[in-house]
């Protein structure tokens, strides 16, 4: 008979081994974080490959398809291969000043998936997700559309991002999805319950926003002034930017989040400016997920984040990491 203590330790070791970093490619081509750096794409991909990062996350809507186009172009030109996750369900209307709207009928999702594959220059992706639900389409119908995409060979796995917990739990329990993706950080544990349920059901879990949109990267302080088009500044002004990470930037929560980040750094004995690698290290220990996503705009940023995989958090810092959530 197996020793239960030894078995539990082995299970924990296997879970840690399964966890890994995923490179998020949204921030490099979009203005929502105060600037973009598409010319840095090839260096970023080379740095990811050199660091042993095998997974990348993008979406059809990032840069209105530019993220997928650049990823496809530079993978081919550099001779690199990554496990790709992309997201569909949001499209840009035609004409000047066109809005981005949600479109998630099964027929629309199939067309969007085919367009994504063309931009990426691949025959299929490893993960194809519903980016946001379409209020005009039942979520189950959208997921059935993605299942049809998987059956057509366009994706190895299908799932969703940004669904309410109720319908998400129904889909997970019904075995309709292979993977889910949610915002999560040491400061924001609101999605812990659905993430843990998915783990119990054998559904793969990806988390984004791990650096708390700059707070846990040491780049956001109480006195930070955001650029006009940065959604974090919109949230600080009291307006709703319509993003999942806004809760950390609203009212008194923002100040508490920044203070907790400073305490986290102090417990490790590192400067707040060096917080990103520590956050990666602790997230790989604590996150209720197999894939921990980090977004960055340059090879230099990625190199600093990748160092976190070799960093051992101080026991006091790790203990605080497990209880520091403010949202």
Q: Does residue 292 carry a pLDDT above 80? A: yes
Average pLDDT over residues 15-19: 51
When mean pLDDT is compared across 3-17, 38-52, 191-205, the lowest value belongs to: 3-17
Quick one: pLDDT band at residue 32, thresholds 50, 70, 90?
low
> What is the model's pLDDT at position 327?
93
Quick one: pLDDT band at residue 8, thresholds 50, 70, 90?
very low
> What is the model's pLDDT at position 242?
77
Q: And the tokens for 318?
A: 């790790």
Which letter does DSSP use for residue 223 in this model? T
* CATH number for the domain whose boundaries are 10-213+288-311: 3.20.20.100
Q: And the tokens for 241?
A: 């930017």
For the chain, which residues make up each domain, given as ranges? 10-213+288-311
> What is the model's pLDDT at position 9?
38
C-beta separation of 106 from 95 below 8 A: no
* Whole-structure pTM value: 0.89
* Model confidence pLDDT, tens digit, residues 96-139: 566 889 999 999 999 999 999 999 999 999 999 999 999 999 99
Place of tokens 């794409």: 41
Q: Are strands 100-102 and 90-92 parallel, antiparallel or unpaired?
A: antiparallel
Instruction: Annotate 214-231 with b (16+ C-beta within 10 A) or e (fewer).
Output: bbbbbbbeeebebeeebb
The set of residues, in sequence order, having a beta carbon less than 8 Å from that of 265 and lying 6+ positions away, is 218, 271, 272, 274, 275, 278
Q: What percent of the chain has pLDDT over 70?
A: 91
Average pLDDT over residues 224-239: 90
Backbone angles phi and psi of 20, in degrees to 5: -160, 170
Average pLDDT over residues 134-155: 98
Find the radius of gyration of the CA atoms of the chain. Answer: 19
């Amino acid at each position: 008979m197996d020793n239960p203590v030894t078995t539990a330790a082995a299970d924990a070791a296997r879970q840690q081994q399964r966890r890994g970093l995923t490179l998020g490619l949204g921030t490099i081509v979009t203005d929502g974080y105060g600037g973009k750096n598409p010319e840095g794409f090839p260096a970023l991909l080379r740095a990811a490959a050199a660091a042993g990062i095998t997974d990348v996350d993008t979406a059809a809507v990032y840069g209105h398809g530019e993220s997928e186009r650049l990823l496809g172009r530079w993978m081919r030109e550099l001779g690199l291969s990554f496990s790709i996750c992309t997201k569909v369900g949001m499209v840009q209307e035609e004409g000047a000043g066109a809005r981005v709207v949600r479109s998630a009928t099964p027929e629309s999702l199939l067309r969007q998936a085919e367009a994504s594959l063309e931009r990426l220059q691949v025959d299929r992706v490893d993960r194809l997700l519903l980016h946001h639900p379409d209020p005009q389409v039942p979520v189950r119908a959208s997921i059935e559309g993605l299942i049809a995409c998987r059956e057509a060979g366009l994706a190895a796995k299908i799932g969703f991002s940004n669904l309410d917990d109720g319908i998400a739990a129904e889909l997970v329990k019904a075995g309709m999805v292979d993977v889910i993706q949610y915002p999560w950080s040491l400061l924001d544990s609101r999605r812990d319950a659905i993430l843990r349920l998915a783990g119990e059901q054998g559904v793969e879990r990806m988390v984004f926003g791990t650096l708390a949109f700059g707070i846990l990267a040491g780049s956001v302080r109480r006195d930070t002034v955001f650029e006009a088009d940065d959604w974090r500044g919109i949230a600080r002004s009291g307006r709703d930017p319509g993003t999942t990470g806004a809760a950390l930037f609203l009212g008194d929560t923002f100040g508490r989040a920044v203070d907790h980040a400073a305490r986290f750094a102090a417990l490790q004995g590192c400067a707040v400016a060096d917080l990103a690698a520590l956050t990666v290290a602790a997230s790989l220990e604590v996150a209720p997920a197999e894939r921990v996503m980090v977004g960055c705009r340059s090879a230099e940023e990625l190199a600093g984040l990748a160092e976190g995989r070799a960093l051992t958090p101080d026991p006091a810092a790790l203990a605080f990491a497990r209880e520091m959530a403010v949202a």
